Amino acid sequence: MRREEPLTRSSQDYLEAILNLSEREQNVRITDLANHLQVTKPSATGMVKVMSKQGLLQHDKYGPIQLTEEGAKQAHLVRQRHRALKDFLVHILGVPHKTAEKEACLMEHSISMDTSERLYLFLRENLTK
Amino acid sequence: MRREEPLTRSSQDYLEAILNLSEREQNVRITDLANHLQVTKPSATGMVKVMSKQGLLQHDKYGPIQLTEEGAKQAHLVRQRHRALKDFLVHILGVPHKTAEKEACLMEHSISMDTSERLYLFLRENLTK
DNA sequence: CAATTATGTTAGGATTGACTAACATCAGAA
DNA sequence: TTCTGATGTTAGTCAATCCTAACATAATTG
């Protein structure tokens, strides 16, 4: 059972948000998600429905949201890219945290796994930490 | 007469394409633009119409496309970002040209002028060239 | 100049992802 | 348990951007 549809910008954002939220609270709800992503609840409901159909998460009416195995896997990849980009912006370029956060959020959808890994290695070598 | 509407992803792509094309041929036509951006001619016509209304370019029915002063200014900024990103990907990370081109194209919409300038400086210092 | 080919436009839809308004359900307090 | 406020869903829109099919104009060439 392979995933066909590529992740959209939006679904990546949703995945990452759900992953982050699920590490802080044991139940991720539509409202949390909507707040986190700055969208309205109906928007979150709609997207969750789509992602559920794509097998990225599990959600029953009025219930909590849970990533599937596939969803979690993808979410981790997305987050890894996000972090690498943010680290680059903050620690290499000196971009302020807030801006870096915002821009990493946008950029993360544009880079391939390969590039993400290269960035990762680059950071390893250049972050005196 | 200031511009209100922020540039969208698409309009940035169009601006950059028009700028590049206009440096190679003295007349930029709808078809060139459509080919360059891999969209159909009706799509190009439509977007050109919108951008014309926004004062980014000038275009009469069946005529050539020309950037306005404002459009050209924006186009240069977009292209500068694009180039900085591509250079980074190719020369710092070692991403293959083709991939770098594609990804720079996507990323360029996500970074601010400020970040773009930082990247520029970083490249100056780190490209032994 | 007439016919053909290249170029451009219009009309009509599809899709993505957001929104508001209104309704439904749930959970905690009186 | 009933009421109420928090949470979730449905229905209906909207805007951006793309598309295809069909038509219109321009340019080239026999």
Contact between chains at A111 and B93 (C-beta distance less than 8 A) = no
Which residue in A59, A67, A84 sits closest to A7, CA to CA? A67
Q: Report in angstroms the alpha-carbon separations of A80 from A127, B3, B9, B85.
A: 16, 37, 24, 20
Which residue in A42, A78, A48, A53 sits closest to A64, CA to CA? A48
List of domains in chain A: 9-68 (1.10.10.10), 74-126 (1.10.60)
Contact between chains at B122 and A89 (C-beta distance less than 8 A) = no
Which residue in A89, A13, A90, A100 sits closest to A48, CA to CA? A13
Per-residue pLDDT of chain B (129 residues; tens, 9 = 90+): 445 678 899 999 999 999 999 999 889 999 999 999 999 999 999 999 999 999 999 999 999 999 999 999 999 999 999 999 999 999 999 999 999 999 999 898 889 889 999 999 999 998 875
What pLDDT score was predicted for residue B5? 77
Contact between chains at B114 and A95 (C-beta distance less than 8 A) = yes
> Tens of pLDDT along A45-69?
999 999 999 999 999 999 999 999 9
Low-confidence ranges of chain A (pLDDT < 70): 1-4, 129
Cβ proximity of A17 and A37 under 8 Å: yes
Closest CB from B95, B99, B107 relative to A107 = B107
**Residue B40: both structure tokens together:** 């159909």
Interface test with B, best of A12, A105, A107 (most B CBs within 10 A): A107
**Structure letter (DSSP) for residue A56:** S
C-alpha radius of gyration, chain B, whole number: 15
